[in-house]
Structure 1
Amino acid sequence: MTPKIRRAVIAVAGFGTRFLPATKAQPKEMLAVVDKPIIQYVVEEMVGAGIEEIVLVTGQNKRSIEDHFDRSFELEYRLKEADKLDLLEEVKRISNLAKFVYIRQKMPLGNGHALLCAKVVVGDEPFAFSYGDDIIEAKIPAIGQMIKVFEKYQGSVMGVMEVPREKISQFGVIKPQEIEKGVYKVLDTVEKPRSDEAPSNLASVGRYVFTPKIFEALEETKPGKGGEIWVA
């Protein structure tokens, strides 16, 4: 019987230097898109796919992420007193989306290292893994689609999307072998290739479903520049 995927690890420890100066005083994951921060969209995607526990791997200056998913009794009291009951219910809903666990990555040593920090919580169960600053809009939650593929093929799954050839050098790209429509075996990955050297136009989108074997692979990975370890 396939183990149920009930836990998602989300990496939110990066500095967000690409978004400066907007991220000088707040995490990139807390930047608002319409009326919600980016991280809430990601969490809601996970919950929409049946995830029950969210493990957020945080770092320095990320306290606002924890506060966002925590109860705020003073705010709730003020909303109730002001008879803003719709807002009150929405604020309460956010903290009840899932069970939240927070793990601190003491140094920004890559998303692979962040994932290793969560090993003690994940244990020996398969799980979802996501970056905390990528929103994917889909009728069926992207991670939910990937979980179905995992259940069918019993192996780790990487989410990919088609990108224009002229932008291929901005992404990590896979060398695919089609298994069925929309599902590919990953033969190789190439990080930011030239458009004329790219093995496909299918790029990683920061969504994964892993078995616990990923931890062995990361532990055997030699750290790169600055001691960093990366998933992809």
Structure 2
Amino acid sequence: MSSPERKPIRKAVFPVAGLGTRFLPATKAIPKELLPVVDRPLIQYAIDEAREAGIEQMIFVTGRGKTALVENFDIAYELEETMRERGKDMSALDCTRFTPGDLITVRQQVPMGLGHAIWCARAVIGDEPFAILLPDELMWGKPNCMKQMVDAYNEVGGNLISVLEVPHEEVYKYGVITPGAENGALTEVKGLVEKPAVEDAPSNKIVSGRYILQPEVMRTLENQEKGAGGEIQLTDAMAKMIGSQPFHAVTFDGARYDCGSKLGFVEATLALALERDDLGKDVRAIAQKLLAE
């Protein structure tokens, strides 16, 4: 098995072209990724995660109607000037600032699947390994998920995916790995299966929305082969790389909130609010009052 040169992870791709139909009518005019979890847009949690992992350049794969998503990270001159004149604390905006050139957008004109969205960023990725963060998956931990993965990458190189263990009866809803040798949080990946029947699942370790991939995956994706649902699947492209390059899973030590669903979004908001020093006590009292009623 060949081992590619271990270049640092400098770039991250964020697939944000989806329509967010499960959150209508809230997402009719506002991108789903800008819906707030407590007081930060969902996309901000993924950006903060990438930054903590040392990633420098963020690449948004957008679609129609996502202008506001990009503008969220621009300078709001009127807002900032008004706040400045009124002596308001502007530190809340610090996380929305980028060094010029460190936020890049590319367009996915047609919704042809996650693999196609990643392929749309090929010119920006070039010949470098890169991270992928799916903002719908809010991964919460210290250190965060991508930092745990970059640390693992610095040890073993190659390709990595984040995984979580779920009850075996739930594996049919997810991508599942065929595990090999295990070493702490690291598991060798022997294969990938998308939404297997419970009785056929090779493990209970599910793929959970974070990836570090070598640029060769773009060569596989450029064949535009369609998989499940008639879409170009990232899972299929990754599966073809297993055996030719090192491939590991990192079991994430933290919590995952599926903010692609309404229930997961509510759960994330409640869980993160309860952790806040400025909100936790009051939110807990409110929850207890509502439950008592």
TM-score by length of 2: 0.74
Structure 1 unmatched runs, 5+ = none
- The structure number with the bigger radius of gyration is 2
Quick one: distance in 1 between partners of 2:227 and 2:194?
14
Q: 1:96 aligned to 90, 95, 98, which one?
A: 98
Shift of residue 118 of structure 1?
Answer: 0.6
Q: 1:154 aligned to 154, 157, 168, which one?
A: 157
Which residue number in structure 2 is paired with residue 210 of structure 1?
Answer: 213
Quick one: distance in 1 between partners of 2:191 and 2:166?
17
Shift of residue 70 of structure 1?
Answer: 0.8
Which residue number in structure 1 is paired with residue 196 of structure 2?
Answer: 193
Which residue number in structure 1 is paired with residue 51 of structure 2?
Answer: 47
Quick one: distance in 2 between partners of 1:93 and 1:43?
9
Q: Counterpart of 2:137 in 1: which secondary structure?
A: coil
Amino acid at match of 2:130: F
Q: Counterpart of 2:136 in 1: which secondary structure?
A: coil
Distance change in 2, residues 1:207/1:26 (3 Å): same
Q: Tell whether the 8 Å contact from 2:13 to 2:121 is kept in structure 1 after alignment.
A: yes
Which residue number in structure 2 is paired with residue 168 of structure 1?
Answer: 171
TM-score by length of 1: 0.92
Over the aligned positions, Cα root-mean-square deviation in angstroms equals 1.8
Q: Tell whether the 8 Å contact from 1:109 to 1:226 is kept in structure 2 after alignment.
A: no
Quick one: distance in 1 between partners of 2:153 and 2:35?
31
Quick one: distance in 2 between partners of 1:161 and 1:58?
28
User: 1:165-210: CA deviations, max 9, x gaps?
Assistant: 2322211111111331121121122222232321111101111001
Q: Flag as ranges the 4+ runs of structure 1 deviating above 6 A.
A: none
Moved more, 204-213 or 166-175: 166-175
Residue 134 (1) aligns with residue 145 (2): no
Residue 177 (1) aligns with residue 150 (2): no
Quick one: distance in 2 between partners of 1:185 and 1:76?
49
Shift of residue 131 of structure 1?
Answer: 1.2
Q: Counterpart of 1:120 in 2: which secondary structure?
A: helix
Structure 2 unmatched runs, 5+ = 236-293
Quick one: distance in 2 between partners of 1:140 and 1:188?
27
Q: Counterpart of 1:196 in 2: which secondary structure?
A: helix
Shift of residue 221 of structure 1?
Answer: 4.8
Count of aligned pairs: 230
Which residue number in structure 2 is paired with residue 229 of structure 1?
Answer: 232
Distance change in 2, residues 1:24/1:166 (3 Å): farther
Q: 1:69 aligned to 73, 78, 84, which one?
A: 73
Moved more, 20-29 or 113-122: 20-29
Shift of residue 59 of structure 1?
Answer: 0.6
Q: 1:107 aligned to 101, 106, 110, which one?
A: 110
